Amino acid sequence: MQFKGRMNGSKSPADLALLDDIEKVAVDRDRDAFGRLYGFYAPRIAAYLRRVGARNDAAEDLAQEVLLSVWRRAHQFDPQKAALSTWVYTIARNKRIDALRRERHPEFDLDDPTMEEAEAPRGDTYTETEMVKDEIRTAIASLPHEQAQLLRIFYFEDKTHSVIADELGLPLGTVKSRLRLAVAKLRSLLEGVG
């Protein structure tokens, strides 16, 4: 089977198409729709896994596992709760910790719909949607370069604060305060969105 995936960037229309696709996977077990999700996410998840320290073949194998989870758990995706990319990110993050650190990533709801009391109400000031996710991308792009760079390192590189400080040639305290500045800036930019 030749797979034709989307490799371009994702603007909102593409996000909407992928949202359609995840629903088709959940409801109809639609393999063409799954192929499009694979085309967009698998190469990016593999990129993420390489950055956090997986060797190339391990990154590819783990990316397959992440996509298999997307297939199996598509019905659990709730577009009211999270952007699709965020949901996929959390699956990739947890698989990575399982596989590379041989630890669990403790989750607050264990993805278990039988646990009603764990179904927490959403915050009253912030509802994450695809649109909000686009706002986040815009907000990250508007950060000073060194703040955006640090945020990416923090999320995507398996390095301690000290190693990050060494590599950037900064005092440890500066790394911590710069990261907080970045987050505070993003949150202020996003205030009222959603």
Partner 1 sequence: MTSEHINVDDLLLAHAAGRLPEPVGLVVATHLALAPQRLATYREYEAFGGAMLEELSPVELSAGAFDRLMARLDDDAEPITTRDAGRGRAAHDPDVPAPLRPYVRGRLADLPWKHYGSVSEAKLPLDESVYRTRLILLKAGKAVPKHTHDGQEITVVLKGAFNDGIGHYGRGEIAIADAHVDHQPVAEAGEDCLCLTVTDAPLRLTGTFSRFLNPFLRF
Taking the complex as a whole, the smallest distance from the CB of residue 70 to partner 1 amounts, in Å, to 10
Applying CB under 8 A, among 80, 104, 169, 192 the residue interacting with partner 1 is 104
Contact flag: residue 90 with partner 1 (CB under 8 A): yes
Least Cα distance to 79 among 25, 126, 125, 19 occurs for 19
Question: Based on the number of CB atoms within 10 Å of its own CB, is 60 exposed (0-12), middle (13-18) or buried (19 or more)?
Answer: middle
Contact flag: residue 146 with partner 1 (CB under 8 A): no
Taking the complex as a whole, the smallest distance from the CB of residue 170 to partner 1 amounts, in Å, to 12
Residues 11-30 that bind partner 1 (CB under 8 A): none
Contact flag: residue 143 with partner 1 (CB under 8 A): no
Angstrom distances, CA of residue 193 to CA of 2, 48, 76, 154: 40, 27, 25, 24
Applying CB under 8 A, among 155, 162, 166, 167 the residue interacting with partner 1 is 155
State the sign of the Cα–Cα–Cα–Cα dihedral 167, 173, 176, 180: negative
For residues 100 and 88, give the distance between their C-alpha atoms in angstroms, rounded to a whole number. Answer: 18
For residues 23 and 150, give the distance between their C-alpha atoms in angstroms, rounded to a whole number. Answer: 35
Taking the complex as a whole, the smallest distance from the CB of residue 46 to partner 1 amounts, in Å, to 5
Contact flag: residue 140 with partner 1 (CB under 8 A): yes
Q: Are 39 and 6 in contact (CB under 8 A)?
A: yes
Residues 108-137 that bind partner 1 (CB under 8 A): 108-115, 117-118, 120-126, 128, 132-133, 136-137
User: DSSP states of 144-182 as a string?
Assistant: -HHHHHHHHHHHH----HHHHHHHHT--HHHHHHHHHHH
Taking the complex as a whole, the smallest distance from the CB of residue 190 to partner 1 amounts, in Å, to 7
Applying CB under 8 A, among 12, 75, 162, 188 the residue interacting with partner 1 is 75
Contact flag: residue 165 with partner 1 (CB under 8 A): no
Contact flag: residue 78 with partner 1 (CB under 8 A): no
Applying CB under 8 A, among 22, 37, 54, 92 the residue interacting with partner 1 is 92
Q: Specify the residue, 67 or 169, whose C-beta has the smaller distance to partner 1.
A: 67
